[in-house]
Amino acid sequence: MKQTFFTITVLLLIVSLLSVVILGSKGKKTDTKVLVFFYGNTCPHCKDVEEWMENNKIKEKMEIIKKEVYDNNANAQELSLAAQSCGLDTNNIAVPFLYAENKCFIGTPDIVNYLSQKAGL
C-alpha cells in the first residue's frame, strides 16, 4: 500500500513538472534575429563574404554567429539541419551559407544581397 502511494505520488510529480515545462515553452519562438554564417577555413568565397562584412561593419548592425564547418563536425551537422529545414539536399551543401529568418542563403551574391538589404546599404 505504501509503495503504491509512493509510486502514484512520484508519477503525479513527474506529470506536473512536464506540464509546467510544456506550458512554459508554449508560444516561445526561436530567435530569428540571430544570423548564422557557416564557412570553411580554406574557402576563398567565404573569405570574400567575411571581408565584405568587415568592410561594411555588418557585425555592428546585426548579430551574426560564425561557424566553421570543415574542421568542426558539430557545426557541419548544424549546417545540414539548417539546409534540411529549407528543403535543400543535404548531400550537396556548399559554403558560404547563411541561415537567417528561417531561410537559407548560399553563395557570395545571395548572402551579400541579403545582408545589404538588412543593413540598409
- Output 22 or 53, whichever has higher pLDDT: 53
The answer to the question of residue 7 being in a domain is no
Q: In the numeric block, which cell numbers belong to residue 57?
A: 561593419
Q: How many CB atoms lie within 10 A of CB 69?
A: 22
Q: What is the pLDDT of residue 31?
A: 44
Q: How many structural domains does the chain have?
A: 1
Q: Which domain holds residue 64?
A: 35-119
The answer to the question of residue 28 being in a domain is no
The answer to the question of residue 85 being in a domain is yes
- Output 39 or 34, whichever has higher pLDDT: 39
Is 93 in contact with 76 (CB distance < 8 Å)? no
Reply yes or no on whether the pLDDT at 85 is more than 80.
yes
Cβ burial of 47 (10 Å; 0-12, 13-18, 19+) is: middle
| Per-residue pLDDT band at 105 (split at 50, 70, 90) | very high
User: How many residues are present in the chain?
Assistant: 121
Highest mean pLDDT: which of 8-17, 18-27, 28-37? 28-37
Q: What is the pLDDT of residue 89?
A: 87
* Over residues 26-46, mean pLDDT: 75
Reply yes or no on whether the pLDDT at 46 is more than 50.
yes
Q: What is 11-70 written as a DSSP string?
A: HHHHHHHHHHHHHHHTT----TT-EEEEE-TT-HHHHHHHHHHHHTTHHHHS-EEEEE-S
